[in-house]
């Protein structure tokens, strides 16, 4: 019996499968994708897919050894950041002064 040493191609998961793999809801994973805080994804034929390696790498960013781990990376929550929100942007044109 011979063992095939050819690596298998990466498995692609659709959003519901990827969310279950991460223990998240579909909607939370969609929000992460929309806000740019989630795992790397691909669009193939108009469909969003994730590889297991990308999901695992994103999940590993949240790995901790203790609550005070100084080298821990952060997996941000699935919400829009205030700095990039249009409602917090500074106005481009300054209003003219009433005194002239």
Please list the residues that pair with 49 across neighbouring strands.
42
**pLDDT tens digit string along 5-61?**
777 777 899 999 999 999 999 999 999 999 999 999 999 999 999 999 999 999 998
Domain locations in the chain as residue ranges: 12-62
- State residue 14's pLDDT score: 96
Give which of 81, 82, 89, 83 is closest to 34, Cα–Cα: 81
pLDDT greater than 70 at residue 100: no
């Amino acid at each position: 019996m011979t063992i095939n040493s050819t690596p298998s191609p990466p498995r692609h998961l659709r959003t519901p499968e990827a969310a279950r793999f991460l223990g998240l809801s579909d909607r939370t994973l969609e929000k992460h994708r929309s806000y740019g805080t989630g795992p790397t994804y691909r669009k193939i034929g108009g469909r969003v897919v994730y590889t297991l390696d990308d999901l695992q790498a994103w999940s590993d960013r949240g790995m901790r050894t203790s609550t005070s781990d100084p080298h821990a990376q952060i997996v941000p929550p699935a919400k829009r950041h205030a700095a990039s929100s249009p409602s917090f942007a500074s106005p481009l044109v300054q209003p003219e002064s009433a005194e002239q």
